[in-house]
Structure 1
Amino acid sequence: MTTHTTRRLPMLTRCALASLLTLGAWLPVPALAAAAPPAAKLQQTRQVPAAFDAEVDAFLKAYWALLPEAAVAAGEYAAAARLPAPTAANRQAQLRFSEAWLQRLARLDRARLTPAQQGDLALLQNHLRGSIWSLREFRSWQWDPSEYNVAGAFGELLNKDFAPLPRRLALIERRLQQVPAYYRAALAQLQEPSPEHLRLAIQQSEGALATFATEIPQALQQAQQQAQLPAAAAQRLARHNAAAERALQAYIAALKALDARQTAAGTGRSFRIGQAAFEAKFGYDIQAGVDARGLYERALQHKEALHQRMSELSDRLWPGLFGDAAKPAERLDKIARVIEKLSANHVSPAGYVDEIKAQIPALAKFVEQHDLLALDPTRPLQVRETPAYMRGVAGASISAPGPLDPQGATYYNVDPLDKYTPAEAESYLREYNHWVLQILSIHEAIPGHYLQLLHANKSPSKVKALFGNGAMVEGWAVYGERMMMEAGWGDMDGQPSPEMWLMYSKWNLRTVCNAILDYRTHVLGQGQAEAEALLEREAFQSKTEASEKWHRAQVTAVQLSSYFAGYSEIMALREQLKAQRGAAFSLKDFHTEFLSHGSAPVKMVSELMQQQGKRR
């Protein structure tokens, strides 16, 4: 999978807060009387859930102050003018915050909370424990300079219409003044970064230069043309912007010099995080009903089942494609020949983005006609080229508004193909051929990430909407692909299309091989040759796609496992509820009920849905 969603809130290691613990009053947890009359007990029963909601509000108030960029991503702009520098003092403030809130939340009487609130409590505790582990054990702030990039929040403030342009520019100006200190502090944190993360940071930071060189000046010019900004204010903002741009240029130059020194000396941390860190990160990030090793073994079994299904489809397609020509004796060779033949059917490089734009209304119409899930025509999806500062990890992604920004735009980011040579572009387009490009848009848009996040933002639980579980988010998008195929997407004359099903199986195989690649790379020490053999020979991916996926496996860990983890658990839950509910089972009701719990881990959603079913 070359896709991801970009709305998830960061762990506490991304930014920090000075004087955090002075913010907000500590709300007391109500003491419960040992013996009380029935009326008083009823009053207490109501007070405990209400007290929890008050605690969540207090937590979020402090959290937004701790992480202004996470606040902006969620649609909360009260602290948007602040850009905390990533210093050691701020990391200590983050640790104090996490430890203090874990103690505070532990004082709540979990047994008296509603099932939904118990889930919220578990999510908050997992998030805080994961943050402590990340700061103390994982320590990516030392070796991953790609964590230090200010462009994202600047882009949010420029593109979101939460306030008139002059007000947003005032926030931007205040943030600009803090950029030099931010990058000085970021550089001071680095200790033998991995070469792969170092070069990713250089690439993305060079992309971020456009924020200061082009985007902010354009917004400033627009405000001046509309007579919304006095000349003196415009000149002052321009000076701060130029200083911020110079600070970023200096940071890039320092990273390049560091890369040169490490290359000459043969130093730098390995990008592999190892078994212990992988299992720990998997536990905090995925929150599945299986550990990392168990998911890896499940993926191996699923790969074999897909190969068998693809072999059968290839047998059906062979005569129409190759006539009487003899089939290869080796199963994988046969499948590869059929896929190679079909993959010649793809759009031109110039028509790539336009084809994606044309698919969105067709997918929406199909979902409506087949009554699969409710749409929201008031929240349109916008297809755009991926901003330069976001490139270098995935070829497509969704940037969704936060739950606190209900009117924000959702963007379907598509990397332009101009970085490729003609041969590389052809390889890429063969990978994203006529059939696969449709599945890509199902995954990213409808009914995938775009639609899931619209429903998540409407969840009554702030915690489940804000602290989304990546495996659930990615798993839903993968499940959406399978669900659309089962509903008849791509059928010809009312009959399942073997071409579409073969290419869907190839795409689903990527999900499976993502998990295999992830585990083998970081735990089993797999090298590039072995990785590319898995991707090209067993997953039938193009050389360009395999090369980019190997790069992604190096600069991420655990995230590639999230797709298969979430998908396999959603499918298992659906089949379990179908068996339990029998004729009363409704696919649309299942989808609506599942998504109503925000972006909670599938294991948690399963428990909540099972409880709801018992109360019916």
Structure 2
Amino acid sequence: MRFLLQSVAVSFALVATLSVPARAQRIGADGAKQTFGFVSEQYFDDVYFKFNPTSGTSVGFHQYDAQLEDYSAANIAKETAALHQYQAKLEAIPADGLDAPVAADREVLLNSIKSQLLSLETIRMWQKNPDNYSSGVTSSIFTLMERPYAPVNTRLRAAIAREKLIPQVFAEARKNLQNPPRIYTEIALEQIDGSISFFEHDVPLAFASATDAAAKAELMKTNAAVVDAMKSYAAWMKADLLPRSNGSFAFGADTYRKKLQYDEMVDTPLDKLLAVNEANTKANQAEFARIAKELDPKKTPTEVLAELATIHPAPDKLLDAFRYSFNAEIAFIQTHHIITLPSDARPILQETPPFMRATTSASIDPSGPFETGSKAAYFNVTLPEKGWTPEHIAEHMAEFNVGTVVSTSIHETFPGHYVQFLWQDQFPSKVRKLVGANTNVEGWAHYTEQMMLDEGFVTPGAEERTRKLVRLGQIQDALLRNARFTVAIKMHTEGWTTEQAEHYFVTEGYQSPSVGKMETKRGTADATYLYYTLGKLEILKLRADVKAKQGARFNLQDFHDTFMRQGPVPIRIVRQAMLHDNSPVL
């Protein structure tokens, strides 16, 4: 699930120079709350969305629809300067002059700015990752197409305006990209054919119903120019960039620790994090072995896993399997009082857009918190591609076995990401609507996979053997996240190779080789994708601590509802609100 300032690719747009004092004066406590409200509004309106107009479209601020990120080095310097200025402004507001929730918002926003500066100044994906450019511009057009928030003619004119600016993006990419990691260039080349196809086929089709003939004719020209620019970029990457892509993707321990601190407010030493995850991995593997033995004492866990991989819907029935799962999950949530469902609306189930298929098998794409024209959410599922070999199809469908279909549906929809999206109107502030921590967002979704089965959820009519297979699928998904945890830290701080990471996903994460390869690719850039297990463990500890404090008064639905109301902030802040202390998150 995408949350604005944490998981959207870094992008840049021209913004007027801000008149901010070089040294901000510290503000007295009396005016701190009003000053924070003013500064945070000013930051979103005058800085963030002007540098990130695609994000503006995504959250529902459509005054940015005709703008595109400016990827020039000069503009990156302007963005960096503006972020430093707002960091100084926020630091000048005394936290002790704010009510606890507002003080927490200040800390969230300040850390978000620090994270963006870390990305621009230290991690520097704008110099390292060629896919940021090709997938970035593809996403900028997709946000105008995916939901009918405005009449098609209006969205068409915005698409034309953005497309006119896209060729310059690739010109800036050629200037900016210096020594990318080879794997980044390989991923960009792997994905760019899907982006080219998107502009050749999907974009014209999306605006086929438009009645503005002149605009449709102009789109044909701008779209053709984008396709030409993208093909030229692909050829340049293959002939020029790939041979000189010798950089390292590893963040290094210091940068890694800072990113965890800024994004997730986690300052636990990396060796302790690895130890916590190792213990959870062993526990999950032991539980997998126990259930596998119950299923067939003559088979090893590996052999049971191989059998599980073959029990899945036919590819053309996969979307139907998810629809069926929705019904069962909603009924269980309501009858067992798991969490309040703020709406009866369901997500729209569809095939994953082409440009996203190389690195994701399933995802949810909700409407933004300030969107008024269309509130639909889309649940994307990656189906096998035409031309795949039978072996490739079998490996891909193993990801959607009888157990992982259930856990994936729970994770992405009920009561996972989609339900958290349904709560967003109740998030207590603009900051919490726009800034999210992945340990909360992905941690919540991963937590619900286990929680639902622990509470007794079963697919209606399932036999005991099928129920055990479903639990094995949930554990297999948990082991995938455990493997991400270890691989992320090891690759980025301890020198693990991609070959070591792929092997670990297969042997310790119980994944197929093709999944291991895809997950490793993702981890080279999504360096902190340990946030699934990390967040789940933080939530489980929070629940145990709240239950210990409340005793007989503890109610699971009340706990989940209270958790949701805090918004998708780091778990440390949720703990402070629910327990009124600063006890450890792990």
TM-score, shorter chain, exceeding 0.5? yes
Deviations 1:267-286 (A, max 9, x none): 52123333233223232233
1:609 counterpart residue number: 578
Q: Report if the CA contact (8 A) 1:286-1:470 is conserved.
A: yes
Determine if the alignment matches structure 1 residue 297 to structure 2 residue 275. yes
1:241 counterpart residue number: 223
d(CA) in 2 for partners of 1:278, 1:405: 34
Deviations 1:439-483 (A, max 9, x none): 111111111111112223431211122111112111001110111
- 1:277 corresponds to which letter in structure 2? T
Q: Report if the CA contact (8 A) 1:518-1:553 is conserved.
A: yes
2:418 counterpart residue number: 450
- 1:594 corresponds to which letter in structure 2? F
- Within the candidate set 302, 314, 326, 2:292 is matched to 314
- Within the candidate set 389, 392, 400, 1:424 is matched to 392
Determine if the alignment matches structure 1 residue 415 to structure 2 residue 382. yes
Q: How does 1:187-336 map to 2 (within 5 A)?
A: 187-224=174-211, 229=212, 231-262=213-244, 267-288=245-266, 290-319=268-297, 325=298, 334-336=300-302
Q: How does 1:97-246 map to 2 (within 5 A)?
A: 97-148=82-133, 149-224=136-211, 229=212, 231-246=213-228
Secondary structure (helix, strand or coil) at the match of 1:171 reads helix
Determine if the alignment matches structure 1 residue 533 to structure 2 residue 503. yes
- Are residues 181 and 111 of structure 1, via their aligned partners in 2, closer, same or farther at CA, if it must alter by over 3 Å? same
Q: Report if the CA contact (8 A) 1:474-1:566 is conserved.
A: yes
Q: Report if the CA contact (8 A) 2:28-2:94 is conserved.
A: no
Secondary structure (helix, strand or coil) at the match of 1:575 reads helix
- Are residues 250 and 48 of structure 1, via their aligned partners in 2, closer, same or farther at CA, if it must alter by over 3 Å? same
Secondary structure (helix, strand or coil) at the match of 1:589 reads helix
d(CA) in 2 for partners of 1:73, 1:424: 34
Unaligned runs of 5+ in 1: 34-43, 320-324, 328-333
- Are residues 31 and 165 of structure 1, via their aligned partners in 2, closer, same or farther at CA, if it must alter by over 3 Å? same
- Are residues 24 and 242 of structure 1, via their aligned partners in 2, closer, same or farther at CA, if it must alter by over 3 Å? farther
Determine if the alignment matches structure 1 residue 93 to structure 2 residue 89. no
Determine if the alignment matches structure 1 residue 350 to structure 2 residue 316. yes
Q: Which moved more, 1:489-498 or 1:75-84?
A: 489-498
Q: Report if the CA contact (8 A) 2:83-2:117 is conserved.
A: yes
- 1:429 corresponds to which letter in structure 2? M
Q: Which moved more, 1:541-550 or 1:116-125?
A: 541-550
- Are residues 528 and 208 of structure 1, via their aligned partners in 2, closer, same or farther at CA, if it must alter by over 3 Å? closer
Deviations 1:21-57 (A, max 9, x none): 359999x999659xxxxxxxxxx5xx64344223222
Determine if the alignment matches structure 1 residue 478 to structure 2 residue 478. no
Secondary structure (helix, strand or coil) at the match of 1:20 reads coil
Identity of aligned pairs, percent? 26
Question: Of the two, which has the highest radius of gyration?
Answer: 1
d(CA) in 1 for partners of 2:142, 2:119: 27
1:74 counterpart residue number: 59
Pairwise CA distance, 1:219: 3.8
Q: Report if the CA contact (8 A) 1:85-1:183 is conserved.
A: no
1:469 counterpart residue number: 437
Q: How does 1:479-494 map to 2 (within 5 A)?
A: 479-490=447-458
Pairwise CA distance, 1:364: 1.4
Q: Report if the CA contact (8 A) 1:12-1:131 is conserved.
A: no
- 2:570 corresponds to which letter in structure 1? P
1:39 counterpart residue number: none
Secondary structure (helix, strand or coil) at the match of 2:364 reads strand
Q: Report if the CA contact (8 A) 1:73-1:153 is conserved.
A: no
Higher relative contact order (CA 8 A, sep 6+): 1
- Are residues 529 and 218 of structure 1, via their aligned partners in 2, closer, same or farther at CA, if it must alter by over 3 Å? closer
2:13 counterpart residue number: 17
Pairwise CA distance, 1:555: 3.9
Secondary structure (helix, strand or coil) at the match of 1:294 reads helix
d(CA) in 2 for partners of 1:216, 1:528: 35
Unaligned runs of 5+ in 2: none
Q: Which moved more, 1:541-550 or 1:112-121?
A: 541-550
d(CA) in 1 for partners of 2:361, 2:27: 53
Secondary structure (helix, strand or coil) at the match of 1:299 reads helix
d(CA) in 2 for partners of 1:287, 1:296: 17
What is the Cα-based RMSD across aligned positions, in Å? 2.7
Q: Which moved more, 1:476-485 or 1:105-114?
A: 105-114
- 1:606 corresponds to which letter in structure 2? R
TM-score, normalised relative to structure 2:
0.91
- Are residues 213 and 572 of structure 1, via their aligned partners in 2, closer, same or farther at CA, if it must alter by over 3 Å? same
Q: Which moved more, 1:505-514 or 1:185-194?
A: 505-514
Pairwise CA distance, 1:514: 1.4
Determine if the alignment matches structure 1 residue 569 to structure 2 residue 553. no
d(CA) in 2 for partners of 1:182, 1:457: 35
- Are residues 421 and 259 of structure 1, via their aligned partners in 2, closer, same or farther at CA, if it must alter by over 3 Å? farther
Secondary structure (helix, strand or coil) at the match of 1:178 reads helix
Q: Report if the CA contact (8 A) 2:261-2:267 is conserved.
A: no
Q: Report if the CA contact (8 A) 1:282-1:292 is conserved.
A: no
1:460 counterpart residue number: 428
